[in-house]
Amino acid sequence: MRLPLDFRRLACLTGLLASMAAIFIADTMTDYAVAASALYLVVILAAARLLDIRAIAPLTAGCIALTVLSFHLTPFGEYRVGVINTCINIVMLVVTAYLVARTERARSALQEAQARLTLISRVTSLGELSASLAHEVNQPLAAIATSGHACLRWLDQDPPNLDKARQAAQRILDDARRAGSIVDRIRSLTRGERPDRHAFDLNAAILEIVALSRDKLSRHAITPLFGLGDGLPPALADRVQIQQVLMNLMLNAIEALQGQPLPNRQMHLDSSLEGGMLVFALADNGGGFPGGEDPDRLFEPFHTTKQRGMGLGLAISKTIIEANGGRIRAETNPAGGATFRFTLPVAEEEAR
C-alpha cells in the first residue's frame, strides 16, 4: 500500500512546485512585489499539511531563491524599494517556515503521546479489571464465609437450630448470587457494554444493602439512621451496579467510624428528589478526609490512605454512577466526618 501514498505525495509536491512556478511568473511579470511573494507562504503552509515536515526547509529555500531571482528579473520599480521588499519577503518566509515546523513537530509529539496513552490505558484497564474483580468479589465471599461459620454453629448446637441454620444457608445463596452478578456486571462494564438499566425502587435497594451489612454494623455498634424520602419516583439504572456502589460506600463509612468512640458512631442514609434527579447521601461522623485533601482525588484509582486498601472502590463507584447517568461527589461534614452523595436519573424523566 506504499505506492498510492507515495503517488499522493508526488502529486502534492508537483502541485506545490507548479504553484511556486506560477507565483514566480506573476511576481516577475508584475510589480505587486510583497503581494505575489506572500503566496509563497501559502505554499509553505500547504507543504506542512500535505507533505513531510522535512519538505519544509528545501521548499522554503526554493521560495527564497525564486524571490531573489524574480527581483533580479523584474523590470519595474525602484531598486532600493525592491531590495527592501525582497528582504521583507525572505524574513517572512523564514519566520513562517520556522513557526510551521515547530507547530508540526508539536503536533506529531502530541499524536505520539496520545497513542502511548491509549496503549497505557489499555494495559492498566486490564490490570484494573483483575484488581477490581478481586476487590468487589471479596465482599460477598467474606459474607459467605461468615454465614457458613454461623450455619455450622447452629447445626452443632444440641439440638441443632435448623431454622437459624436455614437462614444462614439462605444468606450464603444470596451472597453467592450477588458475587456472580458482580462478575457479570464488571465484565460487561469492561466490554464497554451499557449498564442494564431498569426502573427500580432506590429506597428498597438501599434497605437491602443495609440488611446485608447488618452483622458488620452491629459488630461495630453502628445504628444506621434513615431519612429516606417518601413517594420517590423509581430510579432508572442498573440495580446490581448501584447496590455495589452502596455497599462500597457503606463499608468505607463503617471503616471510617471504627476510629470513633463506641456510643458516638453515626451513619445517616438519606434519599430525596432534587432538580429532577434522585439523590442518595451517606454521611458518617468518622475521621473524615486527611487535612487539606481534595475530595475529588479520592475517586482516582489506587488512591488509598488505608494500610491494606486498594484505592479502587471509589474509582469503580464513580465509573458505575457516571455510566448510569449520575454524578458522585465527596464532601467534608462541617461537624466532622464525610458525606458521599450521588445522583441517578428518574425513570419517568428518561422515558419522556
Which residues contact ligand ADP by CB under 6 A? 248, 252-253, 256, 284, 286-289, 298, 303-306, 309-315, 338
Instruction: Beginning with the edge strand found earlier in the chain, give each strand of the sheet holding 266-274 in spatial order.
Output: 223-228, 266-274, 277-284, 338-345, 328-332
Residue appearing with cell numbers 523584474: 74
Tell me which DSSP letter residue 276 carries.
T
Query: 16: helix, coil or strand?
Result: helix
Q: How far is the CB of 124 from ligand ADP (least distance, A)?
A: 16
Q: How far is the CB of 348 from ligand ADP (least distance, A)?
A: 32
Q: What is the Rg, in whole angstroms, of the alpha carbon atoms belonging to the chain?
A: 34
Q: Which is nearer to ligand ADP, 242 or 256 (CB)?
A: 256
CA distance linking residue 48 with residue 45, whole number of Å: 5
Q: Which is nearer to ligand ADP, 188 or 304 (CB)?
A: 304
Q: How far is the CB of 93 from ligand ADP (least distance, A)?
A: 57
Question: If we measure between CA atoms, which residue out of 87, 97, 100 comes closest to residue 34?
Answer: 87
Q: Which three cell numbers stand for residue 301?
A: 484509582
Q: How far is the CB of 158 from ligand ADP (least distance, A)?
A: 42
Q: How far is the CB of 195 from ligand ADP (least distance, A)?
A: 20
Q: Which is nearer to ligand ADP, 97 or 328 (CB)?
A: 328
Q: How far is the CB of 58 from ligand ADP (least distance, A)?
A: 56
Torsion of CA 190, 195, 201, 205, to 10 degrees: -10
Q: Which is nearer to ligand ADP, 181 or 252 (CB)?
A: 252
Q: Which is nearer to ligand ADP, 4 or 290 (CB)?
A: 290
Residue 248's alpha-carbon distances to 135, 164, 243, 299, 342, in angstroms, are 10, 27, 8, 12, 13
CA distance linking residue 340 with residue 345, whole number of Å: 17
Q: Which is nearer to ligand ADP, 9 or 303 (CB)?
A: 303
Q: Which is nearer to ligand ADP, 58 or 336 (CB)?
A: 336
CA distance linking residue 290 with residue 32, whole number of Å: 70
Q: Which is nearer to ligand ADP, 189 or 314 (CB)?
A: 314
Alpha helices for the chain (secondary structure H):
2-29, 33-50, 56-73, 79-156, 162-190, 202-212, 214-219, 239-257, 313-323, 347-351
Q: How far is the CB of 11 from ligand ADP (least distance, A)?
A: 56
CA distance linking residue 68 with residue 78, whole number of Å: 15
Residue appearing with cell numbers 521548499: 59
Q: How far is the CB of 118 from ligand ADP (least distance, A)?
A: 25
Q: Which is nearer to ligand ADP, 233 or 311 (CB)?
A: 311
CA distance linking residue 12 with residue 47, whole number of Å: 8
Tell me which DSSP letter residue 325 carries.
T
Q: How far is the CB of 313 from ligand ADP (least distance, A)?
A: 3
